[in-house]
Amino acid sequence: MFPVEVASMEDSGSWERPGRFVAAEAGYEECEWVIAGAPLEATVSYRAGTRWGPARIREASHSLETYSPELDRDLDELAICDLGDVVLPLGNVGQSLARIEAALRRPVRDGKRFLVLGGEHLVTLAAVNAALARYPDLVVVQFDAHTDLRDEYLGEPYSHATVMRRVLDLVGPGRVWQLGVRSGLREEFALAREATRAFPDVTHGARVLVEELAGPLRGIPLYLTLDVDVLDPAFAPGTGTPEPGGIGFVELHQALLGLARAGARVVAADIVETAPPLDPSGRTEIVAAKLAREILLGFGRGEEV
Ligand code: MN
Ligand code: MN
C-alpha cells in the first residue's frame, strides 16, 4: 500500500539496537512477544521529540519492577524478544512506513504478538497493515485525546492527524473503537458517530468493550493503539500535542486490566507519541514503560496467537 516495497528486514543494516526493554532477554525463535521500536518523527504537527521515544521508554523500563501486583505476573515468566529499532530514512514517510511494515511481517507470520514503541502515531498504520495479513477480522482499539480522522492534513494523506482515518479505510466501519477522544474537527466527530465506536469516557468505553468480548467480539483479534496524550498532560506532559481534560494513569490502567481480565485476544499493540525531550521530569517515558509492561503481562498467554 505504500509507494515503496521493502522485501526483507533481515539484513544487518535494518535494525539499530539501543539496549533492551527490561527482561526482554529471549531470542527470536522462542519468544512469544516481539518488541520493535519505530522512532518515526515525520508528520508531527506541533512539538517534536517522538524519535527519542523508543530508546527512552526502554531506558525507563529498567526503573520498574518486572512484577505486576495487579496482574500477579512477572515479565520473567514470559519470553520477550526486543528486536531494537527499525532504521528509518529521515524525512521519507512512505519508505519509513514500508520499512516498519516489513519489519513486523515476520513476527506476524510466525504467530508472535508484537508491541511497537513509537514514534509518532502514524506508525500504527504500518503496524495494523502488517497485522491484517494474518488477522483480516482485526478490531482496532484506540486510546487517544484526538480523533485522528482527518482525510488529509495540510494536503498530506499520511499524517499522525489522519492515521485513524487510514486505519478505518483498511478495517472498515464499526471496527475501530475510540476511547478518551476529546479533540478534533466537527467533521471528524460526525464521521466518528457514523463509522467508529466512540467513547469519550474511557472507563465506560472499556466496560462496553468488555461486555462485547463476551458476546459479538468473542475471540476476535484486537489491536491496541495507545496514544499517550489520552492521559491528561499532568500525567504525560512529554507529548507533541497535549490536550487538557484527560484521564489519570489509574483510569487508563484499570481499563487495560479490565480488558486483560476479560481475556481480550490482543494480538498486537503500540504505544505512540511519547516525546521525551518535552518532559524534563521524565515521567512520560516511565508511564509509557509501565503501560508497556502491563500490556505484555496482561495479554501474553504463553502460546501462539
Ligand atoms: Mn493524540
Ligand atoms: Mn493520535
Domain boundaries, the chain: 15-298
- To the nearest 10°, report the CA torsion of 250, 252, 256, 257: 10
Q: How far is the CA of 273 from the centre of ligand 1 (A)?
A: 7
Q: How far is the CA of 116 from the centre of ligand 1 (A)?
A: 16
Q: How far is the CA of 143 from the centre of ligand 2 (A)?
A: 8
CATH of domain 15-298: 3.40.800.10
The DSSP call for residue 21 is P
Amino acid 13: pLDDT: 66
Q: How far is the CA of 146 from the centre of ligand 1 (A)?
A: 4
Residues 210, 203: Cα–Cα separation, whole Å: 11
The DSSP call for residue 79 is -
Q: How far is the CA of 183 from the centre of ligand 1 (A)?
A: 8
Amino acid 58: pLDDT: 97
Q: How far is the CA of 160 from the centre of ligand 2 (A)?
A: 6
Calculate the alpha carbon distances from 167 to 2, 13, 128, 177 in Å: 13, 29, 7, 11
Calculate the alpha carbon distances from 196 to 137, 164, 225, 244 in Å: 15, 10, 15, 23
Distance of CA 172 to the CA centre of its chain: 19
Q: How far is the CA of 122 from the centre of ligand 2 (A)?
A: 8
Q: How far is the CA of 27 from the centre of ligand 2 (A)?
A: 32
Ligand nearest the Cα atom of residue 122: 2
Amino acid 15: pLDDT: 84
Q: How far is the CA of 17 from the centre of ligand 2 (A)?
A: 26
Q: How far is the CA of 199 from the centre of ligand 1 (A)?
A: 15
pLDDT in tens, 88-118: 998 899 999 999 999 999 999 999 999 999 9
Give which of 24, 21, 88, 52 is closest to 275, Cα–Cα: 52
Q: Across the chain, where does the E strand assignment appear?
A: 15-16, 33-38, 67-68, 73-74, 80-86, 113-118, 139-143, 176-179, 197-199, 222-227, 266-272
Q: How far is the CA of 220 from the centre of ligand 1 (A)?
A: 25
Q: How far is the CA of 305 from the centre of ligand 2 (A)?
A: 26
Ligand nearest the Cα atom of residue 148: 2
- For ligand 1, a single-atom ion, which residues have Cβ within 5 Å? 144-146, 227, 229
- Residues in the chain predicted with pLDDT less than 50, given as ranges, are none
Q: How far is the CA of 123 from the centre of ligand 1 (A)?
A: 13
Give the 3-state DSSP-derived string for 218-250, with helices as H, strands as E and coil as C.
CCCCEEEEEEHHHECCCCCCCCCCCCCCCECHH
Q: DSSP readout, 130-148?
A: HHHTT-TT-EEEEE-SB--
Q: How far is the CA of 11 from the centre of ligand 2 (A)?
A: 31
Ligand nearest the Cα atom of residue 164: 2
Q: How far is the CA of 119 from the centre of ligand 1 (A)?
A: 12
Residues 301, 305: Cα–Cα separation, whole Å: 9
Look-up: residue for cell 514500508? 98
Q: How far is the CA of 227 from the centre of ligand 2 (A)?
A: 5
171 grid coordinates? 478495517
Q: How far is the CA of 290 from the centre of ligand 2 (A)?
A: 19
Amino acid 143: pLDDT: 98
Instruction: Find out whether 268 and 115 touch, Cβ atoms under 8 Å.
Output: yes
